[in-house]
Amino acid sequence: MKKLLICATAAMLAASVFGSVCGGWKVNASATERVGKASYLCDYESGTVVSQQDATKHLPIASMCKIMTLLLSFEAIENGTMDYGEQIVASENASGMGGSQVFLGTGLSYTVEELMKSVAVCSANDSCVALAERIAGNEADFVAKMNARAKELGAEDTLFANCTGLPKEPQYSCAKDVATMLKALIGHGKYFEFSKVWYDDFLHPDGRTTRITNTNKLIRAYSGCDGGKTGFTSEAGFCLAATAKRGETRLISVIIGADSSSSRFDAIKAMFDDCFNRYETRVLVEGGKALDEKACVRGSKTKQISVAAERPIKVFARRGEKAEAKISVELDPDLKAPLQKGSIVGVAIAYREGIEIGRANLVALDDAPRMSWWEALRETAQSWQ
């Protein structure tokens, strides 16, 4: 790879970019201690942990386990084994679920999209089981998939016993793992089409209508909040995992075991407020914008092509803090025609103090067609001259 180092001045945090607690600072620590058994706050892009308390303590998380149910549903669609428009027939087992539900009718058909939306908006247990049975054949096998996926994500302090979060032993998770799962879930853009719905009518094939209302009150009560999952059982207490975005900064916050519904929302709002006030996200490399460096392509009339980062490279940092960052632009030295626009031609890597803090593929902004036989011959003749 050909390398070009570019110096940039950016607001940065030291080792916290890699997942440690930022400067030892705890957001509103006394407040979170009063309202919850555990908490966690991190930056979405970098994973930087801003605040945590008993973040790996094993606790029941109630309906927050539906974050994994939704994640597996999105991944089933992504890998082609399920489709949003597909009809699922509600089993007696699914329609008989208690707790939060949309009252699915046994033997009636519902689209995957309708079921997923009802899980995201109103935490429908019956829809969860219908999706689980469709994806894995039965809930037990789906739970095995949930546990396997949790391990793949690095959620080592999580054990699921069902797909709904209703009380059943043994099952537990922790604030850190819930944040990890939510981070994976919000990587699916369509999730936000569901999570931002405040209320809607869930239509049944037999003519009934169930009004669904978002259980995450921060969707309306907090500027920038566009997703998350609530949970409550007498065992777990009041729980909330939420995400909010302002400017370039997206945060994820989790509270487990609050003593009231309002206190969990207030605690998350306080954590978000403090973090947005103290930290910011700066763009080191813009996505899609041509870099000064050009890529050379052999066997094409187009000798050099413009390149750009496939996505932005960002840094999460304290406001006002400055430090030097370096961007290494590494281009493939053996590019050959034909090369199409959008092809990966290298990588850009951001470093601070020799430690990688972010990277993005570099893509071609131009086509580089192969020379014709005559063009190649003429170029060879010119080089002899």
Domains and CATH numbers, the chain: 2-13+286-384 (2.60.410.10), 36-280 (3.40.710.10)
**pTM of the full structure:** 0.84
How many alpha carbons lie under 13 Å from residue 44 in its C-beta half-sphere?
23
Q: Nearest 5°: phi and psi at 341?
A: -55, 135
18 pLDDT more than 50: no
The set of catalytic residues is: 63, 66, 123
24 pLDDT more than 50: no
For the segment 168-189, the average pLDDT, to the nearest whole number, is: 97
Tens digits of residue pLDDT in 257-282: 999 999 999 999 999 999 999 999 99
d(CA 139, CA 165): 12
Tens digits of residue pLDDT in 354-363: 889 889 999 9
d(CA 92, CA 104): 9
**Res. 378 pLDDT band, cuts 50 70 90:** low
Q: Nearest 5°: phi and psi at 336?
A: -130, 145
pLDDT for residue 7: 34
Give CA torsion, residues 333, 339, 340, 346, to 10 deg.
-10
pLDDT for residue 383: 58
224 pLDDT more than 70: yes
Q: Which of 353, 337, 279 is nearest to 42 (CA)?
A: 279
Residue with tokens 């994976």: 184
**36: Cβ–Cβ under 8 A, 6 or more apart, which residues?**
53, 237, 255, 256, 257, 258, 263, 264, 267
Sheet containing 323-331: which strands, arranged edge to edge?
A: 2-10, 323-331, 344-352, 355-364, 304-309, 290-296
Q: Nearest 5°: phi and psi at 276?
A: -60, -35
Tens digits of residue pLDDT in 26-73: 444 444 445 699 999 999 998 999 999 999 999 999 999 999 999 999
12 pLDDT more than 80: no
- In this structure, of 16-30, 126-140, 160-174, the range with the lowest mean pLDDT score is 16-30
Q: Nearest 5°: phi and psi at 104?
A: -60, 140
Residue with tokens 């089933």: 76
Tens digits of residue pLDDT in 185-210: 999 999 999 999 999 999 999 999 99
d(CA 95, CA 341): 50
d(CA 26, CA 261): 22
Residue 271 in 3-state DSSP? helix
Position 267, amino acid: A
DSSP string, 327-338: EEEEE-TT-BSS
pLDDT for residue 322: 77
Which has more pLDDT, 313 or 28? 313
Residue with tokens 């050959």: 336
Q: How far apart are the first and last CA of the chain?
A: 31
pLDDT for residue 99: 92
Tens digits of residue pLDDT in 112-149: 999 999 999 999 999 999 999 999 999 999 999 999 99
Is residue 130 within 8 Å of residue 110, measured between CB atoms? yes
